[in-house]
Amino acid sequence: MAAGMSLEDDRDAHRGAPALEARDVRVTIGDKTILHAADLTLEAGRLVAVVGPNGAGKSTLARAVAGMQKTAAGAIRWMGEDLGRLRGRRLALTRAFVPQRARVPDGVTVTEAVRIGRSPHLKPLQRPTGRDHDAVASAIERAGVTQFAERKLTTLSGGELQRVQIAVALAQEAPVLMADEPTSHLDLGATVSVAKLLRGLADEGLAVMLVAHDLSLAAAVADTVVVMSEGRTVAAGPPLEALSAERLEHVWGVDASVQAAGDHTALHVAWLGGDRPPTNS
pLDDT over 50 at 13, yes or no: no
DSSP three-state, residue 195:
helix
Mean pLDDT over each residue of the chain, to the nearest integer: 89
The answer to pTM > 0.75 is yes
Length of the chain: 281
Check: CB of residue 22 under 8 Å from CB of residue 76.
yes
What angle do helix axes 130-142 and 158-171 make, rounded to 10 degrees? 140
Domain boundaries, the chain: 16-232
Among 39, 48, 41, 46, residue whose Cα is nearest residue 21: 41
Q: What average pLDDT does range 58-74 have in this prediction?
A: 94
- Write out 97-142 in H/E/C secondary structure: EECCCCCCCCCCEHHHHHHHCCHHHCCCCCCCCHHHHHHHHHHHHH
Amino acid at 157: S
Dihedral sign for Cα 199, 205, 209, 215, please: positive
**pLDDT higher than threshold 80 for residue 11:** no
CA distance 34 to 38: 10
Residue 126: is its pLDDT beyond 90?
no
First-to-final CA distance of the chain: 73
* pLDDT band (50, 70, 90) for residue 100: confident
Indicate whether 275 pLDDT > 60: no
Just give the CATH number of 16-232. 3.40.50.300
The predicted structure's pLDDT at residue 106: 84
Cα angle for residues 161, 103, 150 (degrees, 5° grid): 45
CA dihedral 215, 219, 222, 226 (to 10 degrees): 60
